[in-house]
Amino acid sequence: MRVQSKIRLLLAMTSLVIGFSALNARAFSLLGQFESWMTVTNGFYPSDEDEIGGPMCISNEYRWNVPVVTYGFDKSFLDYFGSNGVAAVESTINVLNNLPPTSQNDPSNYATDVTYYNYTAQSQGLIDLKSETLYLLVEHLGLAPPSVGVFCLKDFWFTNGVINGDVLRRNFDPFTDLPSSYVGDTLLTYQLGYSASGGETNAWPIVFAVDPLDSNPSTVANGVPEAGAFFTGLARDDVGGLCYLLSTNNVNYETLLPDVQGVNTNSFVNGAWRPGVDKIAFVPQMVDSSSGAFLPMTNQFTDTYVTNGSVMQQQLERVTIQPDFLFCATNLAVSSDWISRTDTTNWINNAALNGNPAQAGPGVIAPPVKITFNKLGPTWVSFPGSSEDSAQAETQQWGTFDDSTNPPIAYPQSQTVTNQTPVYLTLLMSSKPFEYNWLVTGESSANFDFQTSTNLINWTTLFVISNDGSINSYYDQKPSSTQRFYRIVPQ
């Protein structure tokens, strides 16, 4: 799921409009640790995979304060995505590595709309691995989804049965740092929605475009909206946010990461007022060719800090034992989730060191970051009113594609033999869902029939499973049979 799929962002409504204006048509949001008021009651989802932190104030940002970070792929990623998957992720990393230093970069040079569609990939239910990776990297560089930050409900109350709220704007113009109600070139507004159940009332801003004919706001930080969509690069707002975070004019009191030390000395300045590092480079963490284990890497850099009004520099080095960004693949517990990743709980809050102990930041992003892609695979659904002896394909799989005429690449692209494939059965009954999981074992790439019966005598094949290691899911949306049985048999 992606943030844009939630009720927060609606682009066409004909109900009460509470309008806001902004000086410029652009904005970014900053990611940090959830504040105490960012709860489900106020429309946030701290336990949801879609949200790993909350949007921060302009002065409460979190960022990396080392100029080099490392990345790597574990065996699970290599086994599932193969060399094509590695190439896709590294092409995305190159988008960030090719950015000019912040001091030489101008967000105005970037497009406001970077979301395009490959309709062949869309028809095949493919989700672009490159674009999802770019979103995840931008997120872990410190940017929050602007569709969430544009209007944040801090508190709400009712007056004569009408809901009112304290709504904060945590989208910021990259040229003025002032709050903005724009995402891209789309001016947004909101109205408050709420629901009451079990004695608890939850409320949230329902966000939508002032002009219902405006396009869906397009930034990488908002995430990949759906299958077939891909990013052509970073949007103006994404670049503006990164420029703000890494700017050498943005000075915060920061401590260094624990694995940073002086070069050939134990004496170095740790806590100090530091400007942004101007540019971050991603480098691969080397691997031992015989064991496959990651090798320690030493990166030396010049650290700039301010003391007594003077700009000082010192030579530091950082030894990484494991990659700062580790890419993995697994079978997630929820088969419809695209990804899982490290949240913001290990980020370092330096608010007290900056003289504002009650604030949520600023702070430093701390590794490791583990990004895990779900082993997405074929999905079939029996819809209400249709025969339970038939199923419709609703597949979502990882792919690599762009706007060229090249056919999309679909995953898995295994490098090793796979002999186990998970199968998830979910019966969505009125009382509660019934779930059952199989682990199909057999020859790699062998085919199996998923069959159903009402009498254990006559069996109908609903779909065919290929033993390639990807998740296969079946949902019966509204079972109506008095009894029904399922089995998986080799062809």
Q: In 210-352, where do the E strands start and end?
A: 229-231, 252-254, 260-262, 272-274, 281-284, 297-307, 310-320, 325-330, 339-341, 348-349
Four-residue CA torsion sign, 348, 44, 235, 251: negative
Burial of 132 from C-beta contacts in 10 A (0-12 / 13-18 / 19+) = buried
Task: Identify the pLDDT of residue 183.
Answer: 87
Length of the chain: 491
How far from each other are the two terminal CA atoms of the chain, in whole angstroms? 34
Q: In whole angstroms, give the CA distance from residue 278 to residue 251.
A: 12
Q: In 375-480, where do the E strands start and end?
A: 379-382, 392-393, 397-400, 409-410, 420-428, 433-441, 447-453, 460-466, 472-476
CB 215 within 8 A of CB 159: no
The token duo for 473 is 């899911």
3-state secondary structure of 353: helix
Task: Identify the pLDDT of residue 261.
Answer: 96
3-state secondary structure of 167: strand
Task: Identify the pLDDT of residue 312.
Answer: 97
Q: In whole angstroms, give the CA distance from residue 469 to residue 438.
A: 12
Burial of 199 from C-beta contacts in 10 A (0-12 / 13-18 / 19+) = exposed
One-letter amino acid of 398: W
Q: What is the pLDDT along the chain (491 residues), one digit of tens a residue?
A: 344 333 333 333 333 333 333 334 478 999 999 999 999 999 998 877 678 999 999 999 999 999 999 999 999 999 899 999 999 999 999 999 999 999 999 999 999 889 999 999 999 999 999 999 999 999 999 999 999 999 999 999 999 999 999 999 999 998 888 999 988 888 999 999 999 988 899 999 999 999 988 877 689 999 998 999 999 999 999 999 999 999 999 999 999 999 999 998 889 999 999 999 999 999 999 999 889 899 999 999 999 999 999 999 999 999 999 999 999 998 876 656 889 999 999 999 999 999 999 999 999 999 999 999 998 888 889 888 888 899 988 878 999 999 999 999 999 876 556 678 889 888 887 667 788 888 888 888 889 999 999 999 999 999 999 888 778 889 888 888 889 999 999 99
The token duo for 223 is 């995430």
Task: Identify the pLDDT of residue 72.
Answer: 98
Task: Identify the pLDDT of residue 415.
Answer: 56
Task: Identify the pLDDT of residue 438.
Answer: 87
Q: b/e map of 405-435 (b: 16 or more CB within 10 Å)?
A: eeebbbbbbbbeebeebbbbbbbbeeeeeee
Q: In whole angstroms, give the CA distance from residue 255 to residue 352.
A: 12
Four-residue CA torsion sign, 297, 298, 300, 306: positive
Angle between helices 75-97 and 129-139 (to 10 degrees): 70
* Run of H or E residues at 83: helix 75-97
Residue of 454, 259, 254 whose CA lies nearest to 362: 254
Going by C-beta distance under 8 Å and a sequence separation of 6 or more, which residues neighbour residue 193? 7, 203, 204, 205, 206
Check: pTM over 0.85? Answer yes or no: yes
Beta-bridge mates of residue 427:
434, 476
Widest pairwise Cα distance in the chain? 86
